[in-house]
Structure 1
Amino acid sequence: MNDASTALDRLAEQFLAYKRALGRKYKTGEYYLKAFLTYANSNNPTAQIPTRELVSGWCAGAVGNPGCLYNMACVIREFSRYLGMSGYDNAYILPPKRGARLEPHLPHFFESAEIKAFFEHCDKIQKRGEWPGRELVIPAIFRLLYCCGLRCREARMLLYNDVCLDGKHIDIKASKGCSRRIFISDELAEVLKRYDKRMSRIIPDRAYFFPRNQREPYKESFIPVNFNRIWRGALPHFHSPIKPRAFDFRHHFAYANLNRWAEQGKDVNVMLAFLMRYMGHANIQSTLYYFHFVPEYFGAFAQKAQALESLVPEVPHEEQD
């Protein structure tokens, strides 16, 4: 800490150290906390704690941007609560009702032609000398996301030793506090075996299944940046108020299973427990989130997805923890 730092700066550093001691990276929180410090030091450089005026003034700058305001409110509320536990009783804690209500991002429902065009373009990725094997990683990782509904981080951080292609299963370790084993289809296992064989020649003894180099995975931006690039290349004339994202493959996976079960006459309420475990949800409420969009779109989506559902594995009943 330099001599020019304020009392608020020093408290913020203590708070960040506290978060990291708990094993949290807290990168997003640090970003918003530093933004608050910049605002506070410009408007009240002698402030010793977050005041109501500073917090309200800072949050007012994000009105109209609910996602940003939601993050700001969460971070400043956590910071003030930490200060309260540390003896700073006058730190202003933003009431929960004052925070923005974070509206869910509406998913894009992929049509068969869109998915076909996406993967055709995906398979045309060219080599780049600075990233050996990148042209192999991109088609394989997006097929895994599409077929298994993984979170983007789960696929990106997948360790090599956690993939058993002969046994057709993948172990997802401690994602969102919930480790699990998922089973994959024969078709996907063969795709990943071909990928693994070629990638092992380029980067032998790699730590990650989808490696940036021998010991490191790709960075967080790798999947969304490449998804957007491939989508624009595959569907240059696509127009929609809903911007497709790589995460929407996870929605697609959930609905493909829900549609299949409904068509087979299975009790969807009973099958939700299997879907919850496969997707790595800590509770059934997280799985029920997908029903927010089902009532008005279920039939249309079933018809659109039908041609591609055979590629998406059914959540197995015999899945074990």
Structure 2
Amino acid sequence: MKTPYKWKSNLAEVIQNYISLKQHTGMKFETQERYLRHFDSFYFNNGFDGATLTKELVNDFIYDKNERPCSHRNKELVMRDFAVYLSDRGYHTYIAEVRTELPRCKFIPYILSDDEVRRFFTTIDGYPKSYLQARFSYRTTVDPVLFRFLYSTGVRISEALNLVLDDMDIDSGIATIRAAKNGKDRLIPLSDSMTKRIATFVDEFHRFSDSRMFLFPGCHNGVMGQMDKSTAYTHFRDYLLMADIPHTAIGPRIHSFRHGFAVKCLKGWVLSDNDLTVMLPYLAAYMGHSDFRATQYYLSLTSDLYPEIVKRVEAEFGYVIPEWEAVYDES
């Protein structure tokens, strides 16, 4: 069992109040809490007391020579926001500057072509059934629906595998993603074809299931339960191999469906002359992004994959397509 952290400094109470405030707004705030625990230890171990944060103190904590620039930037963000919180409550504090620039993310994820998508799902639908699989695996029944759900909605694999039957409103064609990566629920509207497929799947496969059963379950020693992400990924690799789709260092991965969904949305909006400044907030909310950095990443990715689009919108929307200056992990 993990030993709870023991707060030490004179600022311990106000730090904990700040963390509690953030968490009550719906944020997980786990990474930020970890940095604030480090700050609490730093403050205490270096003999500081009182409630004044000087520039020298804050910068000594942020710019540890043994840490990478990404840690420096994360600390800048955490300490800046914490300082604003303190300042609003009458504390004398230096508000940290966010000045560490990170290199532009050069990773371009694998986007499946239309032909690869067709071959992938043809392979899933034609996957051989056997008596043993029928007893110890639901893959030939669950996988065709699960992977179409991922492809058509762009949700994370963890979000799909956490869905229970109660989260699926078949009448309205809406799935509820609960307490996802950023600690917030969101609604996912489904296409008519996807809704009909899930309705058939639920009626046939889940006819006797409890409402709290996982929508896309796995089989563990003959017992139905939540499918592991590793199991889903193993199945995914099987289908790639059978569909003659090479798996390289950049993928494809299951997350490629999410990348492809976002890029197709943006490409379609641009080609339809939709105003990206209006559409981007919708995409951010739909994808479950905590801020616009992740959405900007997809916008930059779209411009990299379809340079002809940039030419069409540069004059009108050039300020929307940013230079990506942060390393981003949107898993």
Q: TM-score, normalised by structure 1?
A: 0.61
CA distance in 1 between partners of 2:303 and 2:68 (Å)? 29
Aligned pair partner of 2:189 in 182, 188, 193: 182
Q: Which amino acid aligns with 2:212?
A: R
Shift of 1:205: 2.0
Q: Which amino acid aligns with 1:108?
A: Y
Aligned pair partner of 2:273 in 250, 256, 268: 268
Aligned pair partner of 1:200 in 203, 206, 212: 206
Match of 2:285 in 1: 280
Unaligned stretches of 5+ residues in structure 1: 301-321
Match of 1:316 in 2: none
CA distance in 2 between partners of 1:272 and 1:232 (Å)? 37
Structure 1, residues 217-253: CA drift from partner, whole Å, max 9, x if none? Answer: 979xx65x5565555564697333x465544423312
Judged with a 3 Å threshold, the aligned counterparts in structure 2 of structure 1 residues 45 and 18 are, in CA distance, closer, same or farther, namely: farther
CA distance in 1 between partners of 2:301 and 2:170 (Å)? 34
Task: Answer whether contact 1:70 1:102 (CA < 8 A) is retained.
Answer: no
CA distance in 2 between partners of 1:198 and 1:69 (Å)? 53
Q: Which amino acid aligns with 1:182?
A: P
Q: Which amino acid aligns with 1:238?
A: H
Q: Any residues of structure 2 matched to 1:126-145 within 5 Å, and which?
A: 140-145=145-150
Q: Any residues of structure 2 matched to 1:208-219 within 5 Å, and which?
A: 209=215
Match of 1:13 in 2: 16
Shift of 1:95: 0.9
What SS is found at the alignment partner of 1:280? Answer: helix
Match of 2:257 in 1: 249
Task: Answer whether contact 2:263 2:299 (CA < 8 A) is retained.
Answer: no
Aligned pair partner of 2:174 in 170, 173, 182: 170
CA distance in 1 between partners of 2:141 and 2:43 (Å)? 48
CA distance in 1 between partners of 2:139 and 2:49 (Å)? 50
- Count, aligned residues: 283
Judged with a 3 Å threshold, the aligned counterparts in structure 2 of structure 1 residues 88 and 182 are, in CA distance, closer, same or farther, namely: same
Judged with a 3 Å threshold, the aligned counterparts in structure 2 of structure 1 residues 17 and 276 are, in CA distance, closer, same or farther, namely: closer
Q: Which amino acid aligns with 1:89?
A: H
Task: Answer whether contact 2:236 2:254 (CA < 8 A) is retained.
Answer: no
Task: Answer whether contact 2:76 2:97 (CA < 8 A) is retained.
Answer: no
CA distance in 1 between partners of 2:248 and 2:259 (Å)? 20
Judged with a 3 Å threshold, the aligned counterparts in structure 2 of structure 1 residues 14 and 161 are, in CA distance, closer, same or farther, namely: same
Q: Which amino acid aligns with 2:195?
A: A
Q: Which amino acid aligns with 2:36?
A: L
What SS is found at the alignment partner of 1:93? Answer: coil
CA distance in 2 between partners of 1:34 and 1:28 (Å)? 10
Judged with a 3 Å threshold, the aligned counterparts in structure 2 of structure 1 residues 95 and 207 are, in CA distance, closer, same or farther, namely: farther
Judged with a 3 Å threshold, the aligned counterparts in structure 2 of structure 1 residues 143 and 100 are, in CA distance, closer, same or farther, namely: farther
Q: TM-score, normalised by structure 2?
A: 0.59
CA distance in 2 between partners of 1:15 and 1:284 (Å)? 24
- Please say which of residues 4-13 and 150-159 is displaced more in the overlay: 150-159
CA distance in 2 between partners of 1:134 and 1:35 (Å)? 45
% identical aligned pairs: 23
Judged with a 3 Å threshold, the aligned counterparts in structure 2 of structure 1 residues 287 and 10 are, in CA distance, closer, same or farther, namely: closer
Judged with a 3 Å threshold, the aligned counterparts in structure 2 of structure 1 residues 267 and 117 are, in CA distance, closer, same or farther, namely: closer
1:33 aligns with 2:40: no
Shift of 1:204: 1.0
Shift of 1:77: 2.0
Judged with a 3 Å threshold, the aligned counterparts in structure 2 of structure 1 residues 93 and 291 are, in CA distance, closer, same or farther, namely: same
Match of 1:87 in 2: 90
Match of 1:238 in 2: 247
What SS is found at the alignment partner of 1:268? Answer: coil
Judged with a 3 Å threshold, the aligned counterparts in structure 2 of structure 1 residues 22 and 275 are, in CA distance, closer, same or farther, namely: closer
CA distance in 2 between partners of 1:261 and 1:4 (Å)? 50
Task: Answer whether contact 1:77 1:93 (CA < 8 A) is retained.
Answer: yes
Over the aligned positions, Cα root-mean-square deviation in angstroms equals: 5.1
Match of 1:308 in 2: none
Aligned pair partner of 1:108 in 91, 94, 110: 110
Judged with a 3 Å threshold, the aligned counterparts in structure 2 of structure 1 residues 79 and 226 are, in CA distance, closer, same or farther, namely: farther
Match of 1:317 in 2: none
CA distance in 2 between partners of 1:237 and 1:87 (Å)? 60
Shift of 1:147: 1.1
Task: Answer whether contact 1:158 1:210 (CA < 8 A) is retained.
Answer: yes
